[in-house]
Amino acid sequence: MKLYFPENYKAKLDLKQTEKAIKLIKDFCQENLSSELRLRRVTAPLFVLKGTGVNDDLNGVERPVSFAVKAMNDARAEVVQSLAKWKRLMLAHYGIPAGYGIYTDMNAIRPDEELSNIHSLYVDQWDWEKVITAKQREIDYLKKVVNQIYSVLLRTEFVVYENYPTIKPMLPEEITFVHSEELLQRYPKLTPKEREQEITKANGAVFIIGIGGKLSNGEVHDGRAPDYDDWTTPNSGGYRGLNGDILIWNPILQQSFEISSMGIRVDKEAMLRQLEIAGANDRKELMFHKKLLKDELPLSIGGGIGQSRLCMYFLRKAHIGEVQASLWPEEMVQQCAEHNIYMV
């Protein structure tokens, strides 16, 4: 188990205060996100049919939870790992026009997750998706949307401070943009995670562009599935990739803290290119991929924002188990309790 115990840690809020603060954060954040990006709330599935190409395979190695559906001749269903592709189908289903989108509460189970201060079997996030035009498939538009999301984080942090004055705002006024290739050149001897650590500690909040495509050293900064984020299209900065991660510096854990993965989604050409790179051309026969190849799905930008991660950060908690109910090894629960970290 990978655990970090802050020295002399003591939660700023007790259990009752924490539950009230979680509701405050979630209500305020989603309302502002909806208003800022012009998103309509929709209801999302907990599971989808296997073999349709709708479920997200994340890095391609994580096993989804699956089960047989008796009423459908034992067809296999899978608990969602994210809703990256389902949301795009819904944009078409609802007939959402360009400039508008949807968001939903996504609840997932990831049984292969390595449990730690920030990783749980249970994932809760706001999944959002917005219809864009062909002209908006470029880096400046991606940055614009990142800045809009970051403005929601700043406002949420202030509301928490207004209600709980002992929790002082710490986010910088602006988020810093950096490409993963630029990070490699700046810190050539460090691993990708170590580069994230250095750049986030120095700037407080960063958006790392270009996640999934190969860097000049032949490696990738981090894995991405080939059929939702566009990580190969050249952008105006000369780099490849129209996606990225929002990271903020976590003062309690003393580490970079990913709170969102997002990006402009693949168009037909980008998906064909990335399926070839990933050796996944067989996916072209799946339902989702056929629709995209037939131009039946709109161009879009989208991502996920971790709800428990945000609550953890804004409430200065040391473990994600302090803000969400999940399953934890008894040894972890005991070790955390010994360091004044008490699970919900």
Q: Is the pLDDT of residue 60 over 60?
A: no
285 band by pLDDT with thresholds 50, 70 and 90: very high
Give the three-state DSSP class for 249: strand
Determine what percent of the chain is predicted with pLDDT higher than 90: 85
Residue 145 has what pLDDT? 98
Owner of token pair 């989804």: 64
What CA–CA distance (Å, rounded) separates 144 from 154? 15
pLDDT at 44 over 60: yes
Tokens of 249: 């510096």
| Whether pLDDT at 291 is above 80 | yes
The label of the residue with tokens 């490699």 reads 184
pLDDT at 59 over 80: no
**CA 142 distance to own-chain centroid:** 15
User: How far is Cα 125 from Cα 309, in angstroms, rounded to an integer?
Assistant: 9
Mean pLDDT of 57-85: 83
Q: Where residue 63 falls among pLDDT bands split at 50, 70, 90?
A: confident
* Closest alpha carbon to 55 in 86, 10, 88, 15: 86
| Pair of tokens at residue 334 | 């005991």
The residue type at 226: P
Q: What is the mean pLDDT of the chain?
A: 94
Whose structure tokens read 């389902």?
86
The arithmetic mean of pLDDT across residues 57-84, rounded, is: 83
Domain span at residue 256 reads 15-46+81-338
Strand intervals (E) in 168-323: 176-179, 205-209, 243-250, 255-264, 300-306
Q: Per-residue pLDDT for 58 more than 80?
A: no
Q: Shortest CA distance to 215 belongs to which of 249, 246, 248, 241?
A: 241
Q: Taking residues 128-146, what's their average pLDDT?
A: 97
3-state class (DSSP) for residue 333:
helix
Per the confidence metrics, is the pTM higher than 0.85?
Answer: yes
Sorting pLDDT into bands at 50, 70 and 90, what band is 184?
A: very high
Confidence of residue 312 (pLDDT cuts 50, 70, 90): very high
What is the rounded distance in angstroms from the CA atom of residue 260 to the CA atom of residue 306? 6
Residue 288 has pLDDT above 70, yes or no: yes
Instruction: Report the CATH number that the domain containing residue 38 is assigned in CATH.
Output: 3.30.930.10
The whole-angstrom separation of Cα 35 and Cα 29 is 10
Above 80 in pLDDT, residue 17? yes
Catalytic residues, which ones? 56, 110, 125, 245, 258, 261
CB 106 within 8 A of CB 83: yes
Q: Residue 39 has what pLDDT?
A: 98
In a domain, 9, yes or no: no
CA distance 174 to 286: 41
Q: Which of 171-180, 234-243, 332-341 has the lowest mean pLDDT?
A: 234-243
Task: Take residue 36 and report the two structure tokens written for it.
Answer: 């800022």
Asked if 100 and 40 touch (Cβ cutoff 8 Å), the reply is yes
Q: How many independent structural domains does the chain possess?
A: 1
Q: Is 70 a member of any domain?
A: no
C-alpha–C-alpha distance, residues 314 and 328, integer Å: 23
pLDDT above 90 (res 315): yes
**Model confidence band, residue 121 (pLDDT cutoffs 50, 70, 90):** very high
235-275 pLDDT tens trace = 877 888 999 999 999 999 999 999 999 999 999 999 999 99
pLDDT of residue 1: 59
Burial of 216 (0-12, 13-18, 19+ CB in 10 A): exposed
pLDDT band at 122 (very low <50, low <70, confident <90, very high): very high
Look at the block and give the residue holding tokens 């810093």: 176
Nearest Cα residue to 223 out of 249, 245, 194, 239: 245
Q: Can you give the pLDDT at residue 344?
A: 81
Q: Calculate mean pLDDT across residues 181-210.
A: 97
The secondary structure of residue 30, as a DSSP letter, is H
Residue 3 lies in a domain: no
User: Is 90 exceeded by the pLDDT of residue 113?
Assistant: no
> What was the pLDDT predicted at 181?
95
